[in-house]
């Protein structure tokens, strides 16, 4: 079966990519969204339990709720969505189409490309310990699951950055005991959060690192953690219910471009562009963390603005006679029938409550 030619292929399924998919549909573009990870949401997947306060028009909401809403919005116009699909090369063929080749050798054709791949494929750094496959332990966590999971438990957190300190703060008052260990003599997290954790009753152990995980008989759960003092070499053991590891992230940003198809970069990774989301290569645009320009807003709201600009530029690249920007949703024909349906549903809800 011949590969479908889409108007635009969006590389990356985080906030910038999902909003690009939504806005592409709003502008009548046939979009394909490709994400390397198993699930959509990008970095939001790493802080599902965190409260997000700085998204416009949204009351404070948890990361997981925000992620689900982004996905629902991104799929409004039924784009083609591919997950667990890593793009390894992008080139332009003799017909002027972009070819995005994935790790399975498949080639995805489109008239334009929107890069929304953030800092690359982000994976939490795993513990590097000798012995059993510690990654298989049921109570070893590299991202924070539901906070309720830790209610009344003894939780050891390893790490000295913002995420580790924030998790210790989040768990104070939920877990029965929180132990925060860091291999150095001071934290690299924001000092205000460090002071907050120090006052929370968290047990803080500095110059200490995880040396060994001691499992139960079935080798499925950690029962005890052996710690090593990085200065004296002395060992101590602590009983735990759960272990949370926050040692930073590994990034896979490997991506090849064909001759004449690679945009200019900044600092070896970021696409050097403008506030209009254009890169140095016609037909390739960028949005979100992977895009650099003067005045860049490195917040979620900035990713949405980048996405709108990238889609508008992609639209005029694919259709030169198209308007350079989309209509507001209240005037857009694509929402007319949907708006009528929603108004009817709201009216029916009011009647039911009355």
Domain match, 146 and 168 both: yes
The helix-helix angle for 15-26 and 300-318 (nearest 10°) equals 40
Average pLDDT for the chain: 89
% the chain with pLDDT above 70: 93
**Which residues lie across from 42 on neighbouring strands?**
none
204-244 confidence digits (pLDDT tens): 999 999 998 888 766 788 999 999 999 999 999 999 999 99
Would 342 be classed as within a structural domain?
no
**What is the C-alpha separation between 306 and 95, in angstroms, rounded?**
28
State mean pLDDT over 57-62. 88
Mean pLDDT check: name the lowest of 78-87, 154-163, 245-254, 295-304: 245-254
Which domain range does residue 263 map to? 5-122+250-323
Would 341 be classed as within a structural domain?
no
Would 146 be classed as within a structural domain?
yes
Would 331 be classed as within a structural domain?
no
The domain spanning residue 90 has which CATH number?
3.50.50.60
Q: Do 160 and 63 form a contact (C-beta atoms < 8 A)? A: no
| Model pLDDT, residue 220 | 80
Flag whether pLDDT at 1 surpasses 50: no
Domain match, 137 and 216 both: yes
Residue 22: partners with Cβ closer than 8 Å, 6 or more residues away: 73, 74, 76, 77
Domain match, 145 and 224 both: yes
Domain match, 114 and 132 both: no
| Model pLDDT, residue 290 | 93
% the chain with pLDDT above 90: 58
Q: Regarding predicted confidence, which is higher, 317 or 333?
A: 317
Locate 153 and state its tokens. Answer: 């438990």
- Report how many domains make up the chain: 2
Specify the residue for token string 């989301």.
277
Domain match, 115 and 261 both: yes
| Model pLDDT, residue 175 | 94
| Model pLDDT, residue 134 | 56
Q: Could you tell me where the DSSP H helices lie in 231-328?
A: 300-318
| Model pLDDT, residue 131 | 52
273-331 confidence digits (pLDDT tens): 999 999 999 999 999 999 999 999 888 899 999 999 999 999 999 999 999 988 777 77
Domain match, 34 and 9 both: yes
Q: Do 16 and 289 form a contact (C-beta atoms < 8 A)? A: yes
Q: Regarding predicted confidence, which is higher, 334 or 276?
A: 276
Domain match, 51 and 115 both: yes
Domain match, 12 and 102 both: yes
Binding site members for FAD: 35, 43, 47, 87, 289, 330
| Model pLDDT, residue 351 | 65
| Model pLDDT, residue 70 | 96
Domain match, 277 and 197 both: no
Domain match, 255 and 238 both: no
Binding site members: 35, 43, 47, 87, 289, 330
State mean pLDDT over 39-66. 87
Flag whether pLDDT at 132 surpasses 50: no
Flag whether pLDDT at 22 surpasses 60: yes
235-272 confidence digits (pLDDT tens): 999 999 999 998 887 766 678 999 888 999 998 889 99
**What is the C-alpha separation between 79 and 144, in angstroms, rounded?**
30
Model confidence, pTM = 0.75
Would 348 be classed as within a structural domain?
no
């Amino acid at each position: 079966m011949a590969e479908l030619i889409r108007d635009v292929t969006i590389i990356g399924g985080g906030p910038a990519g999902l909003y690009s998919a939504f806005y592409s549909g709003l502008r009548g573009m046939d979009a394909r969204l490709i994400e390397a990870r198993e699930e959509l949401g990008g970095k939001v997947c790493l802080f599902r339990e965190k409260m997000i306060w700085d998204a416009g028009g949204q009351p404070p909401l948890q990361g997981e709720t925000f992620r689900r809403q982004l996905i629902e919005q991104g799929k409004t116009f039924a784009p083609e969505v591919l997950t667990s699909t890593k793009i390894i090369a992008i080139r332009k063929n003799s017909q002027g189409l972009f070819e995005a080749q994935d790790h399975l050798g498949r080639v995805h054709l489109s008239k334009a490309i929107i890069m929304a791949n953030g800092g690359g494929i982000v994976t939490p750094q795993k513990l590097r310990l000798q012995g059993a496959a510690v990654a298989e332990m049921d109570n070893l966590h590299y991202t924070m699951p539901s906070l309720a999971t830790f209610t009344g438990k003894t939780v050891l957190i390893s790490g000295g950055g913002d995420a580790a300190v924030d998790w210790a703060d989040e768990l104070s008052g939920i877990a029965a005991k929180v132990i925060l260990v860091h291999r150095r003599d001071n934290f690299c997290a924001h000092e205000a959060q460090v002071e907050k954790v120090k006052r929370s009753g968290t047990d803080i152990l500095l110059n200490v690192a995880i040396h060994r995980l001691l499992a139960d008989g079935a080798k499925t759960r950690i029962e005890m953690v052996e710690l090593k003092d990085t200065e004296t070499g002395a060992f101590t053991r602590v009983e735990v219910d759960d272990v949370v590891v926050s040692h930073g992230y590994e990034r896979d940003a490997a991506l090849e471009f064909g001759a004449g198809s690679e945009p200019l970069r900044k600092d070896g990774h970021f696409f050097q562009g403008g506030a209009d989301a254009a890169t140095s290569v016609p037909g390739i645009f960028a949005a979100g963390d992977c895009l650099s320009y003067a005045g860049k807003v490195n917040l979620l709201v900035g990713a949405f603005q980048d996405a709108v600009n990238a889609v508008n530029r992609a639209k005029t690249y694919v259709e030169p006679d198209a308007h350079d920007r989309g209509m507001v949703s209240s005037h857009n024909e694509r929402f007319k029938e949907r708006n009528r349906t929603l108004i009817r549903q709201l009216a029916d809800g009011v009647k039911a409550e009355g």
